[in-house]
Amino acid sequence: MHKSELDGANLKGWQIWLPLAVGAAMAAGIFGGLMIQKQEPSLIVNEKKGESSKMGYGRMEELIRYIDARYVDEVEDEELVEEAIDHLLDQLDPHSSYIPQADIKSMNDKLRGDFDGIGIEFMILDDTLMVVAPLEGGPSEEAGILAGDKIVQVGDSTIAGKGMGSEAIVNFLRGEKGSDVRLGIKRIRESELLFFEVTRDKIPNKSVDVSYLLQEEIGYIKVNRFSANTYKDFMHGVEDLFEKQGMKHLVIDLRQNPGGYLQEATKMLSQLFDEREKIMVYTEGVNSTRSDYKTSGGNFFDLEKIAVLIDEGSASASEIIAGAIQDWDRGVIVGRRSFGKGLVQEQYKLSDGSALHLTVSRYYTPSGRSIQRDYSDKEEYDDDFAARFKSGELQDPEKFKLRDTTEYFTAGGRVVYGGGGIMPDVFVPLDTFLFSTYYLYLRSEINSFAFRHYEDNKAAFAEWKDESKYINKFEISDELFEEYLAYAEKNAKLSKRNESILKEVSPALKRRLKARLGKHCFKEATFYKINNHDDPMIDEAIRWILDKNPLVKLED
């Protein structure tokens, strides 16, 4: 393990290095799949005609002026312009897009790593906001709000029974840091409405869900996206597992991770390699010069074997991680073919506060392969999962029709391909029963049922004081499972029970119900410890890590 030597400083080396790296990233303005462009691009001159190439800008303005001044009927100017913008961008790639001013803040909040709010986890039950848990150290916890409280009023507005969705409720609860909001709370066993003044504060927007030991010496970290705090959160997880729990090997779970900031992904990658100046990824476009992102050689923890989990929902920055690990033979990639987003966008702020995400380059893995999927058929591109499901690729990788047969080679000489996502080294088929409509309807009711059942039986659950004992001993009884099924079928409006599918999916439903109850009893990590049990991808990752030389086995 490497540490910085600082006299009188009681900080880990990576914690000291982090502000410097962030500063460099901010100066460069580089983000994963997204780069902030602070200056307008210079006007391109058409050398043959000696004229400025304006792509018909003048004609567009003239058309809008004529329509506005002379059209027979009244038109909504803003709607007309936005439709024209959408149609124009639709002629480009699927990831170039226009962001209206109203959507900028919510989009930035998702990536920024924090937001201003009251700090609760909640769900909508019977048209009422239920507090699942106040976030530890957050403003709601400090104000005295408890799990199980129903928020029925926000300020002067009643929100219960209004049919409001989660997004509308979030807009009520969020506000500027330091601002106060008065919440009307209905609490169990309290006849009168209770009122709390909550001062909004910065709320961490977690991108690392959990880190724990799968078994002796093998750690697990689940990264759900690459936001501004991902590297920092990832390193906290690695530090705890490595220094306190004896981790030597690591499983990084990037399933259903849509990507985010490129800089966070490359900082993570630098911690997975000992060497300096190894290319992790590079970007290049017709109007963008090549930019190489290389390892720093400043890793702080000497991790041995690495496995990365990916699936059809792993995109962009997730594919950068998987591609670099695979190309350098640094570890094994387990799962199914990733999404295939290898395009980089720059964000241009427009005069009215809206923004343009414009694709300016492609990114390439260290071996030189672009993993961007073909998007000539936009409809198929947008409905990628359905296309994969229909083709049978999710059960058999041989069903995938490789469009680019160019061979690329890993550091160890293994052949890999581009043009359609990262193909895993170890394929794990999808259990199609877990994507049946019947199962998904049943699963969607687990959270609400678990919450109600826990609230109604807190005294019984209080007897499970030890997390390990709960994980190993607690079982979902037949009576409890039947109670859950009746609740789920009623709420999901299922007309009849599908016994054949239920037989196949019952173990998964019971495991998830136990995991959710465990979360209420203990903490977030308990959910993953239970729900990951018997996960075929995790089992494969462990099996390959325990192999003495897994990469040699892959070459065979």
Cα separation, 182 vs 143, whole angstroms: 11
Evaluate whether 251 touches 303 at the Cβ level (below 8 Å).
Answer: no
Catalytic residue from among 314, 316, 338, 361: 316
**Greatest extent of the chain over all pairs of C-alpha atoms, in Å:** 83
Calpha distance 254→301 (Å, rounded): 20
**Bridge-partner residues for 52, per DSSP?**
45
Whether 214 and 244 have beta carbons less than 8 Å apart is answered as: no
Half-sphere exposure of 473 (CA within 13 A, CB side): 9
User: Which among 201, 311, 327, 425 is annotated as catalytic?
Assistant: 327
Question: What is the C-alpha separation between 199 and 195, in angstroms, rounded?
Answer: 13
- Residue 341 bears catalytic tag: yes
- Among 186, 267, 305, 341, the active-site one is 341
Which tokens in the block code for residue 109? 């909040």
Residues in Cβ contact with 361 at an 8 Å cutoff, skipping those fewer than 6 apart: 283, 284, 285, 288, 343, 344
- The pairs formed by 427-433 with CB atoms below 8 angstroms and a separation of 24 or more are 427/335, 427/336, 427/397, 428/334, 428/335, 428/336, 428/536, 428/537, 428/540, 429/336, 429/394, 429/395, 429/396, 430/336, 430/394, 430/395, 431/536, 432/389, 432/394, 432/395, 433/501, 433/504, 433/505
| Closest to 314 (Cα-Cα) out of 424, 444, 429 | 424
Q: Which distant-in-sequence residues (6+ apart) come within 8 Å of 516 by Cβ? A: 446, 447, 450, 451, 527
Measured CA to CA in angstroms, residue 395 lies from 79, 200, 334, 335, 439 at distances of: 44, 47, 14, 11, 18
Based on DSSP, count helices (H) and strands (E) in the chain, helices before strands.
21, 25
How many CA atoms lie less than 13 Å away from 381 in the CB half-sphere?
Answer: 15
Token reading at 345: 């966008």
d(CA 324, CA 266): 10
Three-class SS of residue 430?
Answer: coil
Separation between Cα atoms, residue 529 and residue 28, nearest integer Å? 39
The residue among 107, 106, 67, 70 whose CA lies nearest residue 83 is: 67
Nearest to 18 by CA among 236, 202, 224, 225: 236
The question of whether 316 is a catalytic residue gets the answer: yes
Whole-angstrom CA distances from 311 to 388, 439, 469 are 12, 20, 32
CA distance 279 to 269: 10
* Active-site residue set: 316, 327, 341
